[in-house]
Amino acid sequence: MNKDQLIKTAQAMVARGKGILAADESSGTIKRRFDAIGVESTENNRRDYREMLFRTTQAMRSNISGVILYDETIRQNARDGTPLVRLIGEAGSLPGIKVDKGTTPLSFCPGEVITEGLDGLAGRLQEYGRLGARFAKWRAVIDIADGIPTYSAINTNSNALARYAALCQEHDIVPIVEPEVLMDGDHEIDRCYAVTDWVLKTVFSDLYYQRVVLEGMVLKPNMVISGKKAARRAGPEEVAEKTVRMLKNCVPPAVAGIAFLSGGQDDEEATVHLNLINQLGPLSWPVTFSYGRALQHEPQKLWAGKPENVAAAQCAFAHRSRMNGLAAIGQWKPDLEKAA
C-alpha cells in the first residue's frame, strides 16, 4: 500500500470548490432515465451522453474533481476513439469506478438488503487499476420503516463496507465509503438523525478493525433529512444544523473529506443544503458533493439524445457544477440561479 499516494488522491477528490460526478448508473437505472426523455438505452447512446458530460471543459476543469464510472463506461472509447478514461484525465479530473454488484435481500431480515461484490473484488480492483481507476465506490443501503433498520442489516452492511475499503487501499485505490440511509419513507428528521448516527458509528468502528487509513478515504453519507413522505418536512436550516451536528459526533477528523450523496433531493435543494452546511463551518474536513441525478437531471432533459442539443445540455451541466462548487465553499446565492 502506497499510503502517501492514497492520501494525495483522496485530497484531490475533495479539492476546494470541486466535487465528484456520479456517472455510475447501472444499465437498469440509466434505462429508466433514458425512457423518461424518450431515448433508447443503447451502448452508443449511453456513450454519447457520458462523453458529452466529460467534454464539458468548463465543468470538468473548474468544479469536477472525479467521475465515478460504471464497468461498461470505464472500457468505452469516445466517438473519435479516445478512451473515456483519458478524456476525464485530460480534463484534470480523476477516473473512479463503482465496484459493488448491487443489493440482494438479506436473509431473515424482511425489507432489508445486503450489498454484494466482495467475492473476486481483489482481482477486479487490479484490473480497474490497470484501466486507470484511481478511486472506487461501494454503496450500502439502509432503509427506515416500521421495525427497521435492524442491527443485523447495519452490522452486515458496515462490515462489507469496511472489507471493501481495506481491499481498495491494499491495491492503492482510494475507497469512497457510502452508507446511504434512504429518505424514501415517512419518517421525521430526528429518526433519520438517530439511524444515521448509529450507522456511521458502526461503520467507523469496522473501518478501525479493518485497519483502513482514514486519511486515504472519502466518506459519502446522506444528509440528515426528513423522509419524502413525512407529514412535516424539516426546512433547510434544520437539515444543515442536524447534519453538521451528526458529522461532528460521528466522523473522525482524520478522514480526508466528505462528499454528500443527493439521495433523491432535487437539483437546487441539494445545492441549498450543501451551502448551508458549509456556512456552519469551520469544519474538520472539506465537505463537498458526489451527486448523480442532482447534477445530470437538467442536462439529460435538454440533451434528449439529439446532437443539436449538446451545447445547451453542456451549459446546463456547467451551471449545475458551478453552483455546487460554490456551495462546497459556502458561497452559493439564490440570485445566481435566477441570473442563469
**Catalytic residue list:** 220
> For 242-326, where are the E strands, in sequence order?
257-260, 287-291
Cα–Cα distance between 227 and 231 in angstroms, integer?
Answer: 9
Count of Cβ atoms closer than 10 Å to residue 238 Cβ: 16
Cell of 63: 468544479
CA distances from 141 to 40, 117, 162, 210, 252 (A): 29, 14, 14, 20, 22
Q: Please tell me the distance from the alpha carbon of residue 285 to that of residue 289, in angstroms, as a whole number.
A: 13
Quick one: 231 exposed, middle or buried, by C-beta within 10 A (0-12, 13-18, 19+)? exposed
Query: Rounded to whole angstroms, how far apart are CA atoms 56 and 315?
Result: 8
Can you spell out the DSSP letters for 177-209? EEEEE---SS--HHHHHHHHHHHHHHHHHHHHH
Distance CA 180, CA 261 (A): 8
Measured CA to CA, the distance from residue 19 to residue 315 in angstroms comes to 18
Largest CA distance in the chain: 53
